[in-house]
């Protein structure tokens, strides 16, 4: 016959009470509850590497979904995993003041490794005011270099398209 129905509240209570934190985080992950998953990885399991892997997986999956689907526009952007690294930084900063200092190096390292995935304005708004900006200098240089590289690429593409347009106009004019 039909399988027995299990109330979700009972299921979640069982997972959290019985130390099935990894399994619980997997369920939360399927529900796109990124903050809750990252809190489990960082606060309860004390595993920053696992949290970083989670962020990478969410980011890659969301970008694969965006590239492979016909969904475009604001809805696609809002459902993307672009903000998952900022969520991780918020979780790291939300711990006690003593831990914030020790996690600052982790945050800086995370930003340097994933500079193209961390929203710079959101990051600067989150970082405590007492933290000297020089701590983020390597990250900020990577962001600037990346932006300059993108600008140069777009300028080349723009010039190639202009050249193609001129060629098409002259061939239309001659033909």
Residue 117 has pLDDT above 80, yes or no: yes
Average pLDDT, the chain: 83
Query: Pick the residue with more confidence: 154 or 101?
Result: 154
Q: What is the pLDDT of residue 69?
A: 55
Q: What is the pLDDT of residue 128?
A: 87
Burial 49-77 (b: 16+ CB within 10 A, else e): ebbbebbbebbeebeeebeeeeeeeeeee
User: What are the tens digits of pLDDT across the range 124-164?
Assistant: 999 988 889 899 999 999 999 999 999 999 999 999 999 99
Q: What is the pLDDT of residue 2?
A: 72
Given its phi and psi angles, is residue 95 left (phi above 0), alpha (psi -120 to 50 degrees) or beta? beta
pLDDT band at 112 (very low <50, low <70, confident <90, very high): very high
Residue 18 has pLDDT above 60, yes or no: no
Q: What is the pLDDT of residue 63?
A: 82
Q: Which two tokens stand for residue 164?
A: 């193609």
Q: What is the pLDDT of residue 22?
A: 87
- What is d(CA 172, CA 158) in angstroms, rounded to the nearest whole number? 21
Please choose, from the candidates 141, 145, 94, 89, the residue with its C-alpha nearest in 3D space to the C-alpha of residue 118. 89
Query: Pick the residue with more confidence: 172 or 118?
Result: 118
User: What are the tens digits of pLDDT across the range 45-86?
Assistant: 889 999 999 999 999 988 877 665 545 454 444 445 779 999
Mean pLDDT in residue range 21-30: 89
Which residues make Cβ contacts (< 8 Å) with residue 51, sequence separation at least 6?
A: 38, 41, 42, 88, 91
């Amino acid at each position: 016959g039909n399988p027995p129905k299990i109330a979700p509240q009972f299921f979640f209570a069982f997972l959290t009470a019985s130390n099935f934190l990894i399994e619980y985080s997997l369920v939360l992950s399927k529900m796109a509850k990124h903050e809750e998953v990252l809190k489990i990885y960082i606060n309860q399991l004390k595993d920053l590497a696992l949290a970083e892997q989670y962020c990478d997986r969410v980011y890659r999956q969301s970008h694969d979904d965006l590239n492979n689907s016909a969904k475009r526009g604001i809805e696609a952007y809002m459902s993307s995993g672009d903000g998952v690294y900022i969520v991780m930084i918020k979780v790291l900063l939300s711990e006690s003041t003593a831990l914030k200092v020790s996690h600052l190096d982790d945050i800086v390292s995370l930003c340097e490794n994933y500079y193209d995935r961390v929203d710079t304005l959101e990051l600067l708004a989150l970082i405590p005011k007492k933290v000297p900006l020089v701590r983020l200098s390597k990250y900020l240089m990577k962001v600037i270099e990346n932006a300059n590289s993108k600008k140069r690429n777009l300028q080349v593409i723009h010039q190639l398209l202009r050249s193609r347009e001129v060629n098409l106009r002259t061939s239309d004019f001659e033909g």
